[in-house]
Structure 1
Amino acid sequence: MSAQPFNHGEPRDHTLDACFLGPYGENDALLEKMLVEFLRDHVYWRRNFHPEDPPAIATAAAHHPDYLAFESRMRRELHQLSASLKKSVPFHSPRYIGHMASDLLLPGLAAQMLTLPYNPNNVSEDAAPVTVDMEVQVGLQLARMLGYPHDPAQDACAFGHLTSGGTLANYQALRLALALKAFPVALRAAKIPGLALPEDDWSAFNLTQADCIALLTDWQAWLVAQPAAGRSGWLQRVERERIEQRGLVDFFAAHATLKLPRVLAPVTAHYSWSKGVKLLGLGSDQLELLPTEGMRLDRDALRDTLERCAREQQPVLMCVAVLGGTEYGTIDPIDQVLAARDASRQRGLDFAVHVDAAWGGYLATLFRNEDGSLRPRDEVATDYVQFPTPAVHAAFAALGATDSVTVDPHKLGYLPYGSGAFICRDHRAMSLLAERADYVFHGGTPKDYLARYRSLGQFIPEGSKSGAAAAAVYVTHKVLPLDHAHFGRLPCATVRAAETFHARAQRFALELADCVHALVPFAPDSNLVCLALNPRGNRSITAANAFMRELHDTLRCDPQQPLQTKEFFGSVTTLRPDMLGHAQTTRIFQALGLDASSIDPDEDRLMILRHTLMNPYLIDHENGISYIDRYFEFLGRRMRAMHQAASHST
């Protein structure tokens, strides 16, 4: 990839200029004006709720010694907090290229701050009559971005809700998949007459999701048609057989021909999947991590695994594909995962396909037209040098055929923590997760889509949850619709920055070839680029890691030092031979001048730099500054200094 020339005259996107507070706080007046305006509006709302009520706090109270003492203590503690927070990581700065965090979008920041004094609790409409609807609408906004059905008038409309983060969204995916796969087995055990039930438990557990949902809706219709006097008994009969009632141990003991199901995921999958199978009670033994090719799920390994599972009658609950790995930003071949499932169905083995797009989900905006249709690859590619590869485009094009997705608005959505999201393709499955708590939930299951989910707490892992977070996401998506012409401007700028960074890294490797080996181990699929470094002449992984730790000390946040002493902030990850496989390990380690023959694949891992290029101001056309160039100039100075120090010590 050749370096892109720095174009000082490139047209400026003034929409993006209004999106953030800015690296220098340039939009402080805009944010202050909005906050004061809406704080006053909130106060007027309070005063006009029942204007006949007299003020409970007398004006004279502000002069009482106790009042003044409390105000003084409050101000003192807030000033101390403000001073302490100055040691925080400067995510807002284009000098920060470390973890998956950046500046916050003004619409979301202002919406969250505006909503906080109202303190809505999105457990139900009783506690949040406005923001619960907003959260349900957010699910539909994200569904449209992913290519899921998003019209509530459709029976098979998608559904999504917010979570504290991607980890909890992944838990919800496991929970829903297990409930849906086990339900036909429970119906068979309850011996419901008049329903077309599978002939055995294996067939019941391996129905497709569409067939499971069809059976669920048939059961619901059958139940409604029963005489009122007997309806409760039939319902209880089925509930007693469900896995949610019996628990894993008793359920699978009662259906002895079924083994505990497996969860398949690439070895690059986030550790939340290990947490999830433990939390669900499946146990770590049921999480099978599959090898990768170039840190992307190996489709041949997946097919071989599925063939083995079908042959051994080993049920598979779910296969996880990663859309933007947290370590390297790589994108799994989702289309190939779906193709493998199609082939597996011919052998009687079916499973849910979930996409962990906590990082890369919002990149889907690059592939969406304003009408929600998919953009062809050639059209998308006009804005970039190499992005998207045919494989990456095929992966995003396949999203709409998956069963559920995790997305993190607090990552590439540029919104405050914690705002994760879970989206399932067909909302009707969610009825299997419903709980009842009579003091907050009322009535039965209304047909109206929005009305059904106003008792949101029935369906989600959390109880109490912030309505302010839902307002932030909803308003942001309204201001910046989730298509390439609006929200897509943000990831477009950052993917282009990643391409520039990649090209600059290749030039850096040539410029510093006399003192260091430098390599981008995997071409970026998104806006996350890693860089491996090893001093020239060194063959030892231990020495290479010591070199990297010394370098990382200059890039990590140190609360004992003023932030201004750091020129740039970065993060590190590791290359693990057990994840890479022999061929990739040999390629990378030989390119770095390391001795690949002495590697212990279970013990040795190589530290590398990891760069998250989220900030849209990495190339500042206003002032003619490329922070990417400045970063590599900084790295070059550090490499030269460390090389000279090592030479003198020997």
Structure 2
Amino acid sequence: MTDIDHLSRMNACFLGPRSENEAWLRSEMQAILDSWFGWRRDLFPDDPEAIPYDERVSVPFLQQREKLARQISRLTDILRDEVPKHTPRYIGHMVSEISMPALLGHFSALLHNPNNTSKEVSKVTSVLEAEAITALAAMVGYDPAGASGHFTSGGTVANFEAIWRARFRLDHWLSLALYLAEEHGLPLDVFRAAHMGWKRYFELIAMHGVDEGKTRHYSLVASNPFEAASLLSAHTRSPYKGPVVLVPGNKHFSWLKGVSIFGFGERAFWTIPLDGEGRTDVAVLADLLDRAEKEGRPVLMVVSVAGTTEAGEVDPVDRVQDLLDERKATRGQDIWHHVDAAYGGFFASLLGGVGENLLAPGVRAALAALGRAQSITLDPHKLGYVPYSCGAFLARDREAYSVSSFHAPYLDRADLGASVWAYTLEGSRSAAGATAVWLTSEALGFDPAGFGQIIASTIENCRLFAKTLTTSLPFVRTLQPLDTNIFCFNLAEPGMSLAEANRRTEAVFRKFVASPHFSVSRTSLSRESYEQLIAAHMAGIGGAVDADAMVLLRCVFMNPFWASADVHAQLMPEFVAELAGHYGEVSGASFGPAADGGELPRRVDIDEAVATGPAHF
């Protein structure tokens, strides 16, 4: 595919920062409205008009409509002050321009207002949701025929869905083991029982003729958790301290919320230290698993992160899964692995195409291993270019999707099959996000030739931006590695301490906030979690690590319009000049936008990017 072909296909899917595709989008939205109007008008043609013509021309009716029109005008004026996230000048957070397929799918569903809680109120969109989940499952490497899932309001709830299911599984296994200890006198090893696996579970059920209903009394979830914990302690002659959740230091805040909401307590949250690149340290993870076994604390789940919130880094999902597979093979320990790929999961659309060469080998291997994990979180409202709010929870198979069952007589209908609401934490769920993802999949396809082209472009744009800054401004210090399309950097001169670099970086960020020209974001990496990475970064500067965190400017290159040569040619020098000016005000020094006197780097195309590989700048 030539560069112009790639850009044309991508630009056909977005409105454009100056509404370049306005005419087409207007016509398609009008066609959607026309279809909706006609559907309502023609559905029951013999029914009387509920709003007759005489009323529609009456004074009270027209006055009320005029009042509404004024308030709509007021609202649209107010919204002109909203943060303009569609423009390439916005490189702040994980939000950007939304695609037109997603917008039109979302808009179409809104008009019909289906609630995907049950097929009884969402006959069509429930099917579209299932098809959209199948498309996402295929993208991350799950077998679409066996995978399950549903859409959520966002990644936080999707992560909670994983905890809910992991708890369901662990509780079943522990309840059976406690029942067999209490009723049959079998010895009880809590850690071993909590990870026995479904195969062993059903073998024990058959072997001892167990009525599963009788194990409910021994459940830490379905019965009295305090009584069940007391019984576990009595049989093991040591206090039962509950399960642990192992999450890396690059975690999203939702995991601390999760252990709190599900009642495990903060001491159940075990942080996995990070290596020198800010990723899960697999060797230390193995030590933590051994510690949990020694302390008799079941591992509810191990979490990997694909696309960290701070810098977009990707954990070694493959090596984490290798470790868990090895423990299952040698010790019989079936441990749940969840991948929080809320942001980074969509990079899997690159795999199998030339664009995958933009990713470092370790990142490719990690993304290729997503399909081996029990469950995955995705956020289409981030890198899927779908309107808020739209998250997704995916499970590798129906076994992993299993969860506590509930009943609601007003929703249960045998002829419609199982109601989705019974398997979701949320009850009412808008169909808009699912429909937006469905239309995106149908129009683009979540594969290298379709959606992957957009994702590849964002990585190219990010790397060119990073290269431009580092070659033009000597005080820009890039955080390594640069895994995806998020570029983090701090501002420091040789020998400068971390505390002083933080002060200058923070001050420059405040100037960007006050400026109308560009939007960037700020993040910080704590020494507690990122000690090795911070030490390596500061060693390159030759400065002392004299602060508890490292402050960074953060640029998220989701916006597709940086691929335009004209956009890059105008905005890149502007950004360099603005950053140089802000830094000069903060430091008292003077830096020009091209310190070496040379020209700014040209825009690279995908063929060049593939040839040069995933070099870091």
Hey, what's the Cα distance between the residues in 2 that align with 1:466 and 1:319? 30
Please state how far the C-alpha of 1:389 moved relative to its aligned partner. 1.4
Q: Which of 131, 155, 162 pairs up with 2:151?
A: 162
Asked if 1:88 is matched to 2:119, the reply is no
In the other structure, the counterpart of 1:5 is none
From 278, 282, 287, the counterpart of 2:269:
287
Shift of 1:521: 1.8
Q: Spell out the pairing of 1:42-441 with structure 2 (5 A cutoff).
A: 42-151=36-145, 157-189=146-178, 201-208=190-197, 234=211, 236-256=213-233, 257=236, 259-293=241-275, 294-345=277-328, 346-368=330-352, 379-382=354-357, 387-441=358-412
The CA deviation at 1:547 is 2.6
Which residue, 588, 592, 608 being the options, matches 2:552? Answer: 608
1:527 lines up with 2:485 in the alignment: yes
> How far is the alpha carbon of 1:380 from its aligned partner?
4.4
CA displacement 1:446-496 (0-9 Å, x = unmatched) = 9xxxx655x110000001110122211111111111111111111010011
Indicate which of 487, 506, 509 corresponds to 1:549.
506
SS of aligned partner of 1:93: coil
Query: Counterpart of 2:578?
Result: 634
* TM-aligned CA distance change 1:32 to 1:463, over 3 Å: same
Gaps spanning 5+ residues in structure 1: where? 1-7, 152-156, 224-233, 369-374, 559-564
The residue type paired with residue 112 of structure 2 is: Y
Matched, 1:32 2:26: yes
- Whether the aligned pair in 2 keeps the contact of 1:248 and 1:281 (CA below 8 Å) is no
Whether 1:586 aligns to 2:535 is yes
- Distance of aligned partners of 1:100 and 1:288 in 2 relative to their CA distance in 1, 3 Å threshold: same
Q: CA deviation at 1:16?
A: 0.9
Q: What SS does the aligned partner of 2:251 have?
A: coil
The aligned amino acid for 2:155 is G
Could you say if the C-alpha distance between residues 52 and 101 of structure 1 is closer, same or farther in structure 2, counting changes exceeding 3 Å? same
The 1:242–1:129 alpha-carbon spacing in structure 2 relative to 1, beyond 3 Å, is farther
Match of 2:602 in 1: none
In structure 1, C-alpha distance between the alignment counterparts of 2:135 and 2:230, rounded to whole Å: 42
What amino acid sits opposite 1:316 in the alignment?
Answer: V
Could you tell me which amino acid in structure 1 is paired with residue 300 of structure 2?
L
Q: Distance in 2 between the 1:239 and 1:419 partners?
A: 35
C-alpha distance in 2 between matches for 1:53 and 1:22:
43
1:500 maps onto 2:464 in alignment? yes
Q: Deviations over 1:350-377 (max 9, x none)?
A: 4200000001011100014xxxxxx6xx
Question: Counterpart of 1:309 in 2: which secondary structure?
Answer: helix
2:453 to 482, 489, 492: 489
Q: Please report how far the alpha carbon of residue 627 of structure 1 lies from its aligned counterpart in structure 2 after TM superposition.
A: 3.4
Taking structure 1 as reference, are residues 249 and 21 closer, same or farther at Cα in structure 2, changes over 3 Å only? farther
Deviations 1:562-589 (A, max 9, x none): xxx62211000013222222x4333323
Report the 3-state secondary structure (helix = DSSP H, G, I; strand = E; otherwise coil) of the residue aligned with 1:433: coil
Q: 1:29 aligns to what SS in structure 2? A: helix
Bigger mean CA offset, 82-91 vs 311-320: 311-320
Question: Distance between the aligned counterparts of 1:405 and 1:624, measured in 2?
Answer: 35
1 CA distance for matches of 2:80 and 2:281?
Answer: 45
Once residues 251 and 128 of structure 2 are traced to their aligned partners in structure 1, the CA distance between those partners, rounded to angstroms, is 31
Residue 244 and residue 356 in structure 1: after superposition, are their counterparts in 2 closer, same or farther (change >3 A)? same
What is the identity, as a one-letter code, of the residue corresponding to 1:29? A
> Which shows bigger deviation, 28-37 or 624-633?
624-633
**2:251 and 2:308 in contact (8 A); partners too:** yes
Q: Aligned partners of 1:569 and 1:632: how far apart in 2?
A: 13
CA–CA separation in structure 1 for the residues paired with 2:589 and 2:144 = 61
What are the Cα deviations for residues 3-40 of structure 1, in whole angstroms up to 9, with x where unaligned?
A: xxxxx986552111111111111111111111111111
The 3 A distance-change label for structure 1 pair 16 and 437 is same
Partner residue of 1:518 out of 461, 476, 479 = 476
Q: Distance in 2 between matches of 1:595 and 1:624?
A: 36
Which amino acid in structure 1 is aligned with residue 325 of structure 2? D
Please report how far the alpha carbon of residue 398 of structure 1 lies from its aligned counterpart in structure 2 after TM superposition. 1.2
The answer as to whether partners of 1:329 and 1:528 remain within 8 angstroms in 2 is yes
Range that drifts further, 163-172 or 33-42: 33-42
Work out whether residues 572 and 608 of structure 1, in 8 Å CA contact, stay in contact via their aligned partners in 2: yes
Q: Distance in 1 between matches of 2:271 and 2:203?
A: 32
Cα distance in 2 between the residues matched to 1:215 and 1:145: 35
Partner Cα distance (1:349, 1:259) in 2? 19
Normalised to the residue count of structure 1, the TM-score between the two structures is 0.83
| Number of positions where the alignment pairs a residue of Structure 1 with one of Structure 2 | 578
- Hey, what's the Cα distance between the residues in 2 that align with 1:347 and 1:626? 60
Distance of 1:117 and 1:459 partners within structure 2:
26
Q: How many Å apart are 1:629 and its aligned residue?
A: 4.5
- Matching residue of 1:470: 434
**CA apart distance, 1:308:** 2.0
Q: Which amino acid aligns with 1:524?
A: L
Distance 1:415 1:120 in 2: 18
Q: CA deviation at 1:248?
A: 3.7
Verify the 8 A CA contact 1:619 1:625 in the aligned structure 2: no
1:625 aligned residue (551, 562, 569): 569
Deviation at residue 593 of structure 1 after TM alignment: 5.3
State the SS of the aligned residue for 2:394. Answer: strand
SS at match of 2:44: coil
SS in structure 2 of the partner of residue 522 of structure 1: coil
Q: 1:539 to 1:239 in 2, by over 3 A?
A: closer
Task: Give me the identity figure in percent.
Answer: 32
Aligned-CA RMSD value:
2.7
Cα drift, residue 550 of structure 1: 2.8
- Whole-Å Cα distance in 2 between the matches of residues 410 and 480 of structure 1? 16
SS at match of 1:617: helix
Query: What corresponds to 1:644 in structure 2?
Result: 588
Tell me the residue number matched to 2:420: 456
Structure 1 residues 645 and 506: alpha-carbon distance in aligned structure 2, compared to 1, 3 A threshold: closer
- Give secondary structure in 1 for the equivalent of 2:96: coil
Q: Secondary structure at the match of 1:488?
A: helix
Work out the CA distance in 1 between the residues paired with 2:215 and 2:280. 39
In structure 2, distance between residues paired with 1:380 and 1:111: 27
Would the aligned equivalents of 2:312 and 2:485 in 1 still touch at CA under 8 Å?
yes
Q: 1:40 to 1:101 in 2, by over 3 A?
A: same
Cα distance 1:643–1:430, how it changes in 2: closer, same or farther (>3 A)? closer
Q: CA deviation at 1:434?
A: 2.3
Contact 2:153 2:391 (C-alpha < 8 Å) held by counterparts: yes
Query: Matched residue of 1:317: which SS?
Result: strand
TM-score by length of 2: 0.87
Query: Match of 1:227?
Result: none
Q: Deviations over 1:352-411 (max 9, x none)?
A: 00000001011100014xxxxxx6xxx5455xxxx3212111101211111100000000
Contact map agreement 1:620 1:626 (CA 8 A) in 2: no
- Secondary structure at the aligned position of 1:110 is classed as helix
Instruction: Report deviation, 1:299.
Output: 1.2
* Counterpart residue type for residue 222 of structure 2: Q
Contact 2:165 2:402 in 1 (8 A): no
